[in-house]
Protein backbone atom coordinates (compact mmCIF):
# COMPACT_ATOMS: atom_id res chain seq x y z
CA UNK A 1 0.00 0.00 0.00
CA UNK A 2 1.27 3.45 -0.89
CA UNK A 3 2.37 5.55 2.07
CA UNK A 4 1.08 9.10 2.36
CA UNK A 5 3.23 12.09 3.27
CA UNK A 6 1.48 15.25 4.41
CA UNK A 7 3.75 18.17 3.52
CA UNK A 8 3.11 21.44 5.35
CA UNK A 9 4.90 24.57 4.10
CA UNK A 10 3.83 28.14 3.36
CA UNK A 11 6.08 28.28 0.26
CA UNK A 12 4.24 26.97 -2.86
CA UNK A 13 7.53 26.34 -4.72
CA UNK A 14 8.79 24.11 -1.91
CA UNK A 15 5.47 22.24 -1.82
CA UNK A 16 5.67 21.63 -5.57
CA UNK A 17 9.30 20.45 -5.51
CA UNK A 18 8.83 18.04 -2.61
CA UNK A 19 5.68 16.63 -4.23
CA UNK A 20 7.54 15.84 -7.46
CA UNK A 21 10.57 14.35 -5.70
CA UNK A 22 8.64 12.18 -3.24
CA UNK A 23 6.02 11.01 -5.75
CA UNK A 24 8.88 9.89 -7.99
CA UNK A 25 9.89 7.65 -5.07
CA UNK A 26 6.42 6.08 -4.98
CA UNK A 27 4.85 8.05 -2.14
CA UNK A 28 1.51 9.85 -2.24
CA UNK A 29 2.02 13.48 -1.24
CA UNK A 30 -0.71 15.73 0.12
CA UNK A 31 0.27 19.40 0.39
CA UNK A 32 -1.15 22.09 2.67
CA UNK A 33 0.07 25.64 3.31
CA UNK A 34 -0.50 26.09 7.05
CA UNK A 35 -0.57 24.40 10.41
CA UNK A 36 -4.31 25.03 10.61
CA UNK A 37 -4.78 23.23 7.28
CA UNK A 38 -2.59 20.38 8.52
CA UNK A 39 -4.73 19.83 11.60
CA UNK A 40 -7.93 20.02 9.52
CA UNK A 41 -6.53 17.49 7.03
CA UNK A 42 -5.68 15.03 9.80
CA UNK A 43 -9.23 15.16 11.18
CA UNK A 44 -10.53 13.87 7.83
CA UNK A 45 -7.70 11.86 6.29
CA UNK A 46 -4.75 9.68 7.22
CA UNK A 47 -1.06 10.32 6.69
CA UNK A 48 1.92 8.09 7.46
CA UNK A 49 4.34 10.98 7.98
CA UNK A 50 4.16 14.76 8.25
CA UNK A 51 6.95 16.76 6.62
CA UNK A 52 6.65 20.08 8.42
CA UNK A 53 8.18 23.55 8.12
CA UNK A 54 8.82 25.39 11.39
CA UNK A 55 8.41 29.02 10.35
CA UNK A 56 4.87 29.55 9.14
CA UNK A 57 2.34 32.33 9.74
CA UNK A 58 -0.35 31.95 12.44
CA UNK A 59 0.91 28.62 13.84
CA UNK A 60 4.53 27.51 14.00
CA UNK A 61 5.63 24.01 13.11
CA UNK A 62 6.53 23.46 16.76
CA UNK A 63 2.93 24.28 17.78
CA UNK A 64 1.65 21.93 15.08
CA UNK A 65 3.99 19.18 16.31
CA UNK A 66 2.62 19.46 19.86
CA UNK A 67 -1.01 19.44 18.72
CA UNK A 68 -0.51 16.51 16.35
CA UNK A 69 1.32 14.41 18.94
CA UNK A 70 -1.42 15.11 21.50
CA UNK A 71 -4.03 13.70 19.10
CA UNK A 72 -1.89 11.08 17.34
CA UNK A 73 1.09 10.13 19.53
CA UNK A 74 2.48 7.64 17.00
CA UNK A 75 2.45 10.05 14.04
CA UNK A 76 5.87 10.45 12.42
CA UNK A 77 6.83 14.12 12.14
CA UNK A 78 9.94 15.35 10.33
CA UNK A 79 10.85 19.03 10.21
CA UNK A 80 12.07 20.32 6.83
CA UNK A 81 13.30 23.77 7.74
CA UNK A 82 15.79 26.59 7.22
CA UNK A 83 15.80 27.17 10.99
CA UNK A 84 19.09 26.14 12.55
CA UNK A 85 18.35 23.71 15.35
CA UNK A 86 20.83 23.65 18.23
CA UNK A 87 21.32 20.70 20.60
CA UNK A 88 19.02 22.12 23.30
CA UNK A 89 16.24 22.81 20.81
CA UNK A 90 16.67 19.35 19.28
CA UNK A 91 16.42 17.70 22.70
CA UNK A 92 13.21 19.64 23.40
CA UNK A 93 11.77 18.75 19.98
CA UNK A 94 12.54 15.06 20.44
CA UNK A 95 10.89 15.22 23.85
CA UNK A 96 7.84 16.73 22.12
CA UNK A 97 7.80 13.83 19.64
CA UNK A 98 9.84 14.94 16.63
CA UNK A 99 11.05 11.98 14.56
CA UNK A 100 13.83 13.78 12.65
CA UNK A 101 14.67 17.09 11.02
CA UNK A 102 16.17 18.02 7.68
CA UNK A 103 18.02 21.32 7.30
CA UNK A 104 17.14 23.33 4.17
CA UNK A 105 18.69 23.70 1.74
CA UNK A 106 19.32 20.00 1.29
CA UNK A 107 19.77 17.70 -1.65
CA UNK A 108 16.82 15.70 -2.92
CA UNK A 109 18.86 12.57 -2.19
CA UNK A 110 19.28 13.51 1.48
CA UNK A 111 15.60 14.39 1.86
CA UNK A 112 14.47 11.11 0.29
CA UNK A 113 16.89 9.07 2.41
CA UNK A 114 15.78 10.72 5.67
CA UNK A 115 12.08 10.34 4.88
CA UNK A 116 12.56 6.69 3.90
CA UNK A 117 14.47 6.06 7.13
CA UNK A 118 11.72 7.69 9.21
CA UNK A 119 9.09 5.56 7.47
CA UNK A 120 11.14 2.39 7.85
CA UNK A 121 11.60 2.10 4.09
CA UNK A 122 15.38 2.58 4.05
Residues 3-49 pLDDT 10s: 999 999 999 999 999 999 999 999 999 999 999 999 999 999 999 99
Who's near 77: CB < 8 A, 6+ residues apart?
49, 50, 52, 65, 68, 69, 97, 98, 99
User: Per-domain residue ranges for the chain?
Assistant: 4-119
- The per-residue pLDDT for 3 is 97
- The per-residue pLDDT for 122 is 67
pLDDT in tens, 49-106: 999 999 988 899 999 999 999 999 999 999 998 888 888 888 888 888 899 999 888 8
CATH architecture, domain 4-119: 3-Layer(aba) Sandwich (3.40)
Amino acid sequence: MTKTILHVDDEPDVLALVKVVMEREGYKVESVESGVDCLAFLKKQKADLILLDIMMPKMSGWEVLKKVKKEQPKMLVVFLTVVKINDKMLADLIKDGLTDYIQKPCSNTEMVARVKKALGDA
